[in-house]
Amino acid sequence: MTATTTKAPATAGSAVPQPAAAQVPAEVKPNAAERFTAKVMKEFGSTVGEIQVTDYQQQLVQGYFIAIDRALKSAEEERLRKNEKNKDHEKYDNNLPVTWGNVNLNDLALDVVHYARMGLDMMQENHLFPIPYKNNKTGKYDMTLMPGYNGIQYIAEKYAVEPPLAVTVELVYSTDTFRPIKKSAENRVENYEFAINNAFDRGEIIGGFGYIEFADPVKNKLVIMTKKDIEKRKPKYASANFWGGKQKVWENGKQVDQETDGWYEEMCLKTIKREIYSAKHIPRDPKKIDDNYQYMKMREARIAELEAQDIIDANANGMVIDVTPTALPEPVTPASGVPISGNPSEPAASPRPTAETAPAAIQDDGQTTLTGPTF
């Protein structure tokens, strides 16, 4: 005999079991870097048109946000420090905060997309630097992206007709032994001999060289630069802080000349590297040249007009270059009011801009406070 059970009917007021409610996942809000990437894509699209970027390129853009945010914070600290040291606050203070709200986002979006599509990575050492320029005409900061040594090498190899196997760059001092071995009927491969005879007292810099090696040794190239060649590429108004020489400093409320060694060796080495990796010595392949490369060359021409390459390289992520542009930024000269000595206590003689209200801070996952607009 089979036993059966019956369920008693529910009485009024008794609880009736209900099925468990489906778990609705909480909405995951994009962080600041992701919002910046979306903003860049929107700004770029409004200017150029819709464009496709890969997941990797989007990661590069997010890395740009982190590096640019750091650069803005560092430059803002420098602005406040210089204002504090100025002798005449009414005349010399820069009252435009270096914040996201005061950045020209439209131009920045164009730069970010083009450089990301080229593969330049701000998270890699010496690949790409963000440099803020104060534009006195617009009351905004133009954020310029400047390739560093490794970025220049990356670009040269990516767009080369034949990427080199290796590149050697050296400075030559007065106590060194350097002998070029040029091509001849008896010697098919260009080469050199180089020896450092006194590593701890090499004397004065007399020049430098670069040696480019290819899969076919016959194509190897030796590029020699004398000290005169290097000096010719020195910016007209080069900062003594980096190239050495006299600089203006403030002592007891007065400007006086002070001699400094600067970073002369580093500047010479940088000059040689830029020459070696140029298209003149490592030819670019016309089949590889794209819109991104052409855009980069256009931006380089704009930066060249500032005549401040040495200041940019040596002060990446830490200095605001103050210019008053017309169609393009004017060259940085003493007349433009930029303290070319780089002394933070030296006031800039540029007109006071109209201060703009700094935007509210936004939070990035509760970890870092990022100053800027809500992207």
Distance CA 71, CA 128 (A): 12
No. of H helices and E strands in the chain? 10, 12
Query: Buried b / exposed e across 274-306, counting CB within 10 Å, b at 16+?
Result: ebbbeeeebebeeeeeeebbebbeebeeebeeb
Q: pLDDT by residue (tens digit) across 24-42?
A: 565 667 777 788 888 888 7
Q: Is residue 22 predicted with pLDDT exceeding 60?
A: no
Report the pLDDT averaged over residues 88-108.
89
Report the pLDDT averaged over residues 145-153.
90
Q: What is the pLDDT of residue 310?
A: 47
Q: pLDDT by residue (tens digit) across 43-91?
A: 776 666 666 788 899 899 999 999 999 999 999 999 998 888 887 888 8
Q: What is the pLDDT of residue 370?
A: 40
Q: Say which residues have a Cβ less than 8 Å from residue 26's Cβ, sequence separation at least 6.
A: none
Query: In a 3-state reduction of DSSP, which class is residue 108?
Result: helix
Q: What is the pLDDT of residue 247?
A: 72
Residue with tokens 């298209």: 279
337 or 281, higher pLDDT: 281
Q: What is the pLDDT of residue 242?
A: 74
Residue 194 pLDDT class (50, 70, 90 cuts):
very high
Q: Distances in Å between the alpha carbon of 160 and those of 14, 146, 290, 301, 366? A: 81, 20, 13, 20, 45
Return the structure tokens found at 367. Answer: 């970890």
Answer whether 344's CB lies under 8 Å from 78's CB: yes
Closest C-alpha to 113, from 58, 189, 164, 193: 58
Angle formed by the axes of helices 149-158 and 264-276, nearest 10°: 10
Least confident of 241-245, 254-258, 291-295, 330-334: 330-334
Answer whether 284's CB lies under 8 Å from 161's CB: yes
Query: In a 3-state reduction of DSSP, which class is residue 10?
Result: coil
Query: In a 3-state reduction of DSSP, which class is residue 268?
Result: helix
Q: pLDDT by residue (tens digit) across 197-248?
A: 999 999 999 999 999 999 999 999 999 999 999 999 887 767 777 787 777 7
Distance CA 222, CA 167 (A): 10
Name the DSSP class of 279.
Answer: T
Answer whether 359's CB lies under 8 Å from 101's CB: yes
Q: pLDDT by residue (tens digit) across 333-371?
A: 333 333 323 333 333 333 323 323 223 222 233 333 344
Return the structure tokens found at 87. Answer: 């002798």
Distance CA 190, CA 183 (A): 5
pTM of the shown model: 0.68
Average pLDDT, the chain: 77
Closest C-alpha to 233, from 300, 304, 294, 176: 304
DSSP-assigned states of every residue in 283-296: PBPTTT--HHHHHH
Query: Which residues does residue 170 pair with via DSSP β-bridges, in sequence order?
Result: 209
Residue 16 pLDDT class (50, 70, 90 cuts):
low
Query: In a 3-state reduction of DSSP, which class is residue 362?
Result: strand
